[in-house]
Amino acid sequence: MSVLVADGDRPREGGADRKVVDVAVGVLLRSDGDFLLTSRPPGKVYEGYWEFPGGKLEAGETVEQALRRELHEEIGITISKAQAWKVELVDYPHALVRLNFCKVFDWTGELHMREGQLFAWQRLPVQVKPVLPGTLPVLLWFAEERKFSGLTHTRV
C-alpha cells in the first residue's frame, strides 16, 4: 500500500507516536454511475473540502459496521451491504489515516445532510472543489475503471 503525504510542508502532529486512525469511507453509486460527494462540515479539519461520506471506526467496529453507523448519522441513509474496494494510507499534518473505501450500491432512505454538509452527485471530471487530498486517488481509480482520460477534477 502506498502512503500519500498531504500538505507535506506543514508540521506533523503526534511525532513518532502517531497511530494509524482507521476510517470507513462510502462510495455511493447510483445506477447511472454517478457517485456522491459531500463537503466537510463546519468545524472539522479541511472544512468545506469535498470527500466521500464516512468517518472513523469506533472501538470494536468493523469497517462495514462503522460505515453503516456513519452514513446513518451523517447523511440519514441505511445500508445493508458495503463492498470493500481499496485501502489508502494518508499522512496528514493532523493525523495518519487509513482510508477503507467501500462501494455501496443499495441504500434506503432519502439523503439528509445532518451536519450542515452540502452534497453533489458527480461523474468525471468532478465539478465541485476543492477535493480533499485523500479523496483524489479515488478519482484516478474511477478514471481507470471507466477508461476516462483527461483531468479528473478542477484544481483550486
Given 39, 117, 122, 135, the residue binding ligand 8DG (CB under 6 A): 135
Q: Does the footprint of ligand 8DG cover residue 18 (CB under 6 A)?
A: no
Q: Does the footprint of ligand 8DG cover residue 136 (CB under 6 A)?
A: no
Residue nearest to ligand 8DG (CB): 134
CB of 43 to ligand 8DG, least distance (A): 8
CB of 121 to ligand 8DG, least distance (A): 15
CB of 28 to ligand 8DG, least distance (A): 12
Q: Are 40 and 46 in contact (CB under 8 A)?
A: yes
CB of 59 to ligand 8DG, least distance (A): 13
Burial 37-71 (b: 16+ CB within 10 A, else e): bbbbeeeeebeebbbbbbbebeeebebbebbbebb
Q: Does the footprint of ligand 8DG cover residue 55 (CB under 6 A)?
A: yes
Binding residues for ligand 8DG, how many (CB under 6 A)?
Answer: 17
Q: Of 105, 86, 99, which is closest to residue 34 (Cα–Cα)?
A: 105
Q: Are 53 and 28 in contact (CB under 8 A)?
A: yes
How far apart are alpha carbons 21 and 98 in whole angstroms? 6
| Cell numbers that stand for 78 in this block | 441505511
CB of 99 to ligand 8DG, least distance (A): 5
* Residues linked to residue 51 through DSSP beta bridges, in sequence order: 38
Site string for ligand 8DG, 69-98 (x = CB under 6 A): ---------------------x-x--x-x-
Cell numbers 479541511 correspond to 46
Residues 6+ apart with CB under 8 A from 144: none
- For ligand 8DG, the binding residues (CB under 6 A) are 23, 25, 44, 51-56, 90, 92, 95, 97, 99, 132, 134-135
